Amino acid sequence: MAKTVLIADDSASIRQVVGMTLKNAGYEVIEAEDGKDALSKLDGQKVHLVISDVNMPNMDGISFVKELKAQPANKFTPVIMLTTEAGEDKKQAGQMAGAKAWMVKPFQPAQMLDAVSKLVLP
Amino acid sequence: MGAEQSTVEVAMLEEPRGGGAVTEDATTAGAEAAESMPAARPAWAPVLLGLAGGLLVAVLGSGWAAWVAAAGLAAAGVAAGREAAAAQRARDDAWSKRLAEYRAQLEARSSDDGVAALCGGVVPIWRRHIESTRRHTEEEVSALTARFSDINGRLDGALAASRGNAGGDGGAVSVLEECREELNGVLETLHQSLIAKQELLSQISDLACFTEEMQGMADTVSAVAAQTNLLALNAAIEAARAGDHGRGFAVVADEVRSLSDQSGEAGKRIAEKVATVNGAILATLEAAERYEREDKVSVSGAEEAIRRVVERYREVTEGLEHSADLLRRESDGVREEVEGVIVALQFQDRVGQILSHIEEDMDALTDALESDDPPDVDAWLVNLEGRYTTPEQYINHRGDEATDSPSGGITFF
């Protein structure tokens, strides 16, 4: 059974790049435009991994990850923050929210797949 | 905006002449200046009055006293004229100074108001242009990314199909190997059949040897029958010579001779049958040997045909595999290039964020222009920097030298 990955990013091109990369590798992908949209699409259901942007309208990535981790089904779901920000304070905020990795854009598809395969739960 | 700017320029030009201002402020100020400015009076009037008085005294009067009085009046007139001219110059200087000050104030006010009005009008337009550009860029980049993603997916499919057709399980090379093995199995079966036929021939040859032995045995039977017949004949002769005492023995000799005749006949028939069988065996052996030779030729021909077919098929599949390998290498290269393009297209996300921040700052600038309080520049810049999300924004903010395009990295917590 294919693993499900949720990608939350307000940039359609980033969603497409991540989606293409993961779908070609056999993952099922759920796309969301921001944190609020992601929570709505999850609707409390478990996913195997979440990739989230930090700066998004309606609900930013840090707030989204905090709410995601509060859900029983996704308490242990690994999260990769995918952002243009590289500041240590931002990284620390992501780590405190419960993220497992911090990836700075632009990313290489192979690099993304490597990180996903390391973090996705069996 | 253009009309306002022109009216300001007209006011600035018209005001020093004391009239013709168009704007409200400029008109009022210009009118005040015009009203408070005294009417110009000629400085030479007292001189003329003095000279006229002196001339009248001189004409009406008589004697030197009248001429002295006239001279005095003229001198007084000239002196009064000098004082009036000096006072006029002082007033002119004062008014010139006031006009210069007013003009400077007017220019300053017009300049500030003009820049503010310009910004208030043009900044929202710039913002809309940026927003429109950002939106179009995002739409087009998204479309480009989708197309390149589709190209990449198709390339992967083509590569997988190429691998399936040329090599791997079910590929041409694999099928060739399977065919070769199956055909070799057929050839092996044919060879086994030939060997079995050779064994059969050997057994038939053995049968031919047996028939020779049987022929000898038949000959032996015939010879024994002839000897027995001869012995029976001799016994009959001896029985006749013995007379009545040999009569019974003569009967036995006849029976023996009859049996020997039958044995000789049987031996003869056996010899004939053995000859017939031997002929059939020889004919069969000859036919079998002929078939064996024909089979050998057929198997050899089939083997050669199979070898040629397999060889030609191998050449075709090798060519196909070579082409497929070349296609795979080229496709891998194209896929890498496409992936590079897709990665490069991520610039849109960074550019979009930077433009969004500029839009937000333009909105703030528009609000500040409508406010009476001047903005705090330092606080403004701190707030602006606090909203940055990309490294190049910090670099640009500080005015540092631009570096190469940023590359991503990953940190595991």
The DSSP-derived string for B134-173 is HHHHHHHHHHHHHHHHHHHHHHHHHHHHHHHHHSSTTSHH
In angstroms and rounded to an integer, the radius of gyration of the C-alpha atoms of chain A is 13
Of the partner residues A14, A16, A101, the one whose CB lies closest to the CB of residue B146: A16
A29 beta partners: A5
Is A111's CB within 8 Å of B348's CB? no
CATH class of B168-338: mainly alpha
Q: Is the pLDDT of residue B374 over 70?
A: yes
At residue A121, does pLDDT exceed 80?
A: no
φ/ψ of residue A101, rounded to 5? -150, 155
Smallest CA–CA distance, residue A45 to chain B, in Å, is 25
Q: Do A91 and B411 touch (CB under 8 A)?
A: yes
Give the distance from residue B313's alpha carbon to the nearest chain A alpha carbon, in angstroms.
35
Domains of chain A and any CATH numbers: 4-119 (3.40.50.2300)
Q: Which two tokens stand for residue B147?
A: 């197309």
**Chain B: nearest CA to A114, how far in angstroms?**
11
**Two tokens at A8?**
């939350």
Under the banding of pLDDT at 50, 70 and 90, the label for residue B375 is: confident
Between residues B267 and A79, the one the model is more confident about:
A79
Minimum mean pLDDT among A40-44, B375-379, B398-402: which range? Answer: B398-402
Mean pLDDT along residues B350-368: 90
Summarised one tens digit per residue, pLDDT across range B37-77 is: 444 444 455 555 555 555 555 445 545 555 665 566 556 66
Burial B297-332 (b: 16+ CB within 10 A, else e): eebeeebeebeeebeeebeebeebbeebeeebeebe
How far is it, in rounded angstroms, from Cα B192 to Cα B197?
A: 9
Provide the pLDDT for residue A35: 96
The more confident residue out of B149 and A64 is A64
The predicted pLDDT at position A39 comes to: 96
Encoded amino acid at B104, one letter: A
Average pLDDT (B339-347) is: 84
- B171-188 tens-digit pLDDT: 777 777 888 888 888 888
Residues 6+ apart with CB under 8 A from B358: B130
- A-chain CB neighbours of B392 within 8 Å are none
Express as a percent the part of chain B with pLDDT over 70: 74
ipTM over 0.85 threshold: yes
Q: Is A94:A54 a contact under the CB 8 Å cutoff?
A: yes
Q: Is the pLDDT of residue B19 over 60?
A: no
Q: Is the pLDDT of residue B6 over 50?
A: no
Which residues make Cβ contacts (< 8 Å) with residue B275, sequence separation at least 6? B215
C-alpha to C-alpha distance for B56 and B66, rounded to whole angstroms: 9
Assign A74 a pLDDT band (cuts: 50, 70, 90). Answer: very high
CA-CA-CA-CA torsion for B196, B198, B202, B204, nearest 10 degrees? 80
pLDDT tens digits, B91-135: 788 878 877 876 776 666 666 677 888 888 888 899 899 988 888
A7, A118 contact by CB (below 8 A): no
Residue of B nearest to A84 (CA): B390
> Residue A28: beta bridge partners?
A4
pLDDT at position B86 is: 82
Instruction: Tell me if A104 and B409 make a contact (CB, 8 A cut-off).
Output: yes
Distance from CA of B119 to the nearest CA of A (A): 28
List residues in chain A touching B: CB distance below 8 A.
9, 11-14, 16-17, 19-20, 24, 54-55, 83-86, 91, 94-95, 99-109, 111, 115, 118
Dihedral sign for Cα atoms in the order B110, B112, B113, B118: positive
- pLDDT tens-digit series, residues B379-411: 999 999 988 888 888 888 988 876 665 566 889
Distance, CA of A56 to CA of A64 (rounded, Å): 10
From B145, B156, B408, residue closest to A106, measured CB to CB: B408
Enumerate the domain spans of chain B.
Answer: 1-29, 38-165+346-394, 168-338
pLDDT at site B15: 39
- Mark yes or no for CB contact A11/B409 under 8 Å: no
Give chain A's mean pLDDT.
92
| pLDDT band with cut points at 50, 70 and 90 for residue A48 | very high
Select the more confidently predicted residue: B81 or B204. Answer: B204
Q: What is the pLDDT of residue B402?
A: 67
Span of A96-100, B92-96, B233-237, B378-382 with lowest mean pLDDT = B92-96
Q: What is the DSSP letter of B44?
A: T
Structure tokens at B39: 């009417």
Give the closest of A9, A20, A111 to B149, CB-based: A20
- For B249, other C-beta atoms within 10 Å of its C-beta total 15
CA A100 – CA A121 distance, rounded (Å): 12
**Which residues in chain B are contacts of A104 at CB distance < 8 A?**
406, 408-410
Mean pLDDT of B249-264: 91
CB atoms within 10 A of CB B10: 15
Q: Is the pLDDT of residue A46 over 90?
A: yes
* Mean pLDDT confidence for A33-53: 95
Longest dimension (CA), chain B: 257
> B145 and chain A: CB distance < 8 Å anywhere?
yes
Q: How far apart are CA A54 and CA A61, in angstroms?
A: 4
Predicted pLDDT at B108: 64
As a whole number of angstroms, the longest Cα–Cα distance in chain A is 38
pLDDT of residue B380: 92
Task: Give the helix/strand (H/E) hosting B283.
Answer: helix B247-344
Question: Comparing A99-103, B8-12, B149-153, B292-296, which segment has the lowest mean pLDDT?
Answer: B8-12
Give the model's confidence band at B309: pLDDT under 50 very low, under 70 low, under 90 confident, else very high. confident
B344-to-A15, B135, B145, B226, B338 alpha-carbon distances in Å? 14, 18, 10, 118, 10
Which residues of chain A are within 8 Å of residue B391 when distances are taken between CB atoms? 84, 86
What pLDDT score was predicted for residue A12?
87
B263 and chain A in contact, CB less than 8 A? no
Q: A17 and B146 in contact by Cβ < 8 A? A: no
